[in-house]
Amino acid sequence: MGNLNFLHGGNIYEIKRNFKKEIIDFSANINPLGLPYSLKKYLYKNMKSIEHYPDYEAKSLIKKISKYWKVKEENILLGNGSVELIYLIVNTFKPKTTVIPVPTFSEYERATKAINSKIKFLKLKENENFKLNLSIFPKIDMFFICNPNNPTGNLIIDRFETIRRISCKLFVIDEAFMDFLPDEDIHTAIWEAIKGKNIIVLRTFTKFFSLPGLRIGYLISHKDIIDKLKKNLPPWNINSLAQLAAEFILNKKEYIKKTHKIIEEERDFLFKELSKIEGLKVYPSVTNFILIKIEKPGLFSYSLKKLLIPKGFLIRDCSNFRNLNNKYIRIAVRSNGENSKFITALKEVLCKK
């Protein structure tokens, strides 16, 4: 897998162009509740804000995040989605050596390859439940950890302290899916990040708060790291509607509570139903997606994806994840009606193969 394909899930536009049909997207891990009606109304009311430049410093949103996490405003930096922040971190600190556990989100590799960093891939083993099994490393510059991990759906480290013995200039902990854990306070590395000078925690509004199209994310770290990153940040990187939406939805405690409930119920439902299907191995998940291994002979991820599209479902073919192959797929946790229809369609397809 030398030439990794950096494609992602969620490309419903290509499916619509090629197949001329509507699709239920199980390939992108977005909150099935979608945007609350109250937020849609709020954005419509504030549509005039796009006639002006956005707040350069996004002060109001920074204050809201500061209050939400009980951290100082100086410890927060906003980005045009967490992907912009990944590239910002890499281009600011220019690591000569980088460690990336795999399989994981491909943009860590793409960003570090662009600056010719020497990458060591740490293989997460299936027989160890894709946990991060650490050995002693020589001193490294940057260590990316996606926790919970995408696409495996598990916490690859339970506590940040477990990796303290590694000599590393900068740990980048991507917590894009941490919001889906009701007890995230126990598992997040935020409290470590504001104390030490070698930890950055990435968070996003994309997944849990269902705002992928507005591109809004943030990081939490020590003030000294924030100051260095700010120097390389382009002006007006967060648009007006993204600022308003993020600020509005962060307050919606009922939405947060409801999301935790539906994800837990539907994830359990999907796990049980999928586990009953012969020829599939289903991996436990703590977040809003599930990794599945196709054990049925002669059936591969790309062919299963192709067979499900005419039935109106798009899944994530995981063959382009480093350290996985063409026997793995990933599906998002969606509403009960959609999940039930998907299980029916999947059984139909597998019966014919």
As a whole number, mean pLDDT of residues 319-340 equals: 97
Q: Is position 271 within any domain?
A: yes
Residue 330 in domain: yes
Domain tally, the chain: 2
Can the peptide bond before residue 297 be classed as cis, meaning omega within 30 degrees of 0? no
- pLDDT tens-digit readout, 11-68: 666 776 766 668 899 999 999 999 999 999 999 999 999 999 999 999 999 999 999 9
> Which pLDDT does position 6 carry in this prediction?
57
Do 176 and 221 share a domain, yes or no? yes
Model confidence pLDDT, tens digit, residues 259-292: 999 999 999 999 999 999 999 999 999 999 999 9
Q: Is residue 304 part of a domain?
A: yes
What is the predicted pLDDT for the residue at 12?
67
Could you tell me if 244 and 201 lie in one domain?
Answer: yes
Q: Are residues 193 and 317 in the same domain?
A: no
Contact 286, 181 (CB under 8 A): yes
Identify the pLDDT of residue 161: 72
Residues 109 and 121 both lie in one domain:
yes
Q: Which of 251, 270, 300 represents a domain boundary (last residue)?
A: 251
Q: Count the Cβ atoms, other than its own, within 10 Å of residue 253.
A: 8
Is 303 domain-assigned? yes
The average confidence (pLDDT) of the chain is: 93
Cβ proximity of 349 and 311 under 8 Å: yes
* Strand ranges in 222-338 using DSSP code E only, listed in sequence order: 280-282, 289-294, 313-314, 316-317, 328-332
List the CATH number of the domain containing 330.
Answer: 3.90.1150.10
CATH of the domain at 229: 3.40.640.10
Residue 5 lies in a domain: no
Identify whether residues 197 and 330 lie together within a single domain: no
**pTM of this structure:** 0.94
**Confidence at residue 3, expressed as pLDDT on a 0 to 100 scale:** 44
Mean pLDDT of 84-90: 98
CA distance 223 to 234: 19
Indicate the SS3 state at residue 43.
helix
Span 159-180, average pLDDT: 89
Shared domain for 194 and 66, answered yes or no, is: yes
Query: Are 126 and 190 found together in one domain?
Result: yes
Indicate if 291 and 155 belong to the same structural domain.
no
Residue found under tokens 């946990």: 131
For residue 296, the enclosing domain spans 12-34+254-352
Give yes or no: residues 151 and 229 share one domain.
yes
Residues 264 and 234 in one domain: no
Q: What 3-state class would DSSP assign to 115?
A: coil
Q: Is the pLDDT of residue 10 over 70?
A: no
* pLDDT at residue 167 in the model: 86
- Nearest-angstrom CA–CA distance, 216 and 207: 10
In a domain, 160, yes or no: yes
